[in-house]
Amino acid sequence: MIHLHYFAGLKEVAGKASEDIQWTDGTVEDIVKWAADTYRAFDFSAVQVAVNEEYVLETESVKPGDHVAFIPPVSGG
């Protein structure tokens, strides 16, 4: 199981702020593929991923229990 977090436009497309999914092994890239497949109305091309609150590369592995956040381009300030 991993914990997924959605924000901004992706939260609206997903209709939820977070969810848990079954997960045994894989990389950030695999999860982005899963999310892009699941939420086709959202454009993931500019999305960055944070695992356990740190930005990571797509090659990073994701382990059960991790918190994975999809970070669309930020616009604070």
Partner 1 sequence: MKPFEVTNEPLEPARYMEYVTHSEAGAVTLFAGTVREWTNGKRTMYLEYEAYVPMAEKKLAEIGVEIKQKWPGSRVAIVHRIGALSISDIAVVIAVSSPHRKAAYEANEYAIEQIKKVVPIWKKEMWEDGEEWIGDQSYKPGSE
Q: Is 26 in the site for partner 1 (CB under 8 A)?
A: no
Nearer residue to partner 1 within complex by CB, 8 or 33: 8
Applying CB under 8 A, among 30, 39, 44, 48 the residue interacting with partner 1 is: 48
In the bound complex, what is the minimum distance in angstroms from residue 24's beta carbon to partner 1?
Answer: 25
Gap between the Cα atoms of 49 and 57, Å rounded? 8
Q: Is 15 in the site for partner 1 (CB under 8 A)?
A: no
1-to-4, 21, 36, 37, 65 alpha-carbon distances in Å: 10, 5, 19, 18, 6
Q: Is 69 in the site for partner 1 (CB under 8 A)?
A: yes
Applying CB under 8 A, among 1, 7, 39, 59 the residue interacting with partner 1 is: 7
Gap between the Cα atoms of 39 and 55, Å rounded? 21
